[in-house]
Structure 1
């Protein structure tokens, strides 16, 4: 049991490290997004962060809210600002799907976020 505990601890530490790596990419993208010439790099950093955290969220539900939040902001905004609206629409639909599932277990917390994700998706589809 001790070895199992150590293994679980290492897995949790690895998950936390993965999450922190994705967070750094998000923050880096936000830091450079104000300049037009670095906007494409911001979009790249945001999508890299999503690609990093997506498998983590698939394994551990506690990361799903963070994935959805990063999709809503900043990823969608960065993609739209770089002319990647179709990709932004796909991400908005992903956020709606995630928040729909989360809303089933906690409507008080995730209902407003689901409504926001649906609104954002509708705006992008216009």
Structure 2
């Protein structure tokens, strides 16, 4: 019993081992709180009208995507994309249709989302 050595555990004060060649950690593009509030506000209104039923959010290294579905098993009706590499040129926000057609692109999210707003109808 005396010849069994305990498993070595790291000491609390010891530094943790670092990889020799640390590669830069890829940063993901995300929607900030203000942008997500705007998108979800529009989404909630369209769900209440019965137009949309589901959504998915994807964060990648180069862009963030909010996909809108009529049914969960369909391809997205629209994709709201944020691509910071286009911020100085055409604008980092765009709305893409189901067929891949860019409906609106711009620098300000509310203006880009306006293309998805339903016009008011008289009753």
Please tell me the TM-score bracket, short chain as reference: under 0.3
Which TM-score applies when normalising by structure 2?
A: 0.27
Which TM-score applies when normalising by structure 1?
A: 0.27
Larger % of strand: which? Answer: 2
* Structure having the higher Rg: 2
Higher relative contact order (CA 8 A, sep 6+): 1
Larger % of helix: which? Answer: 1
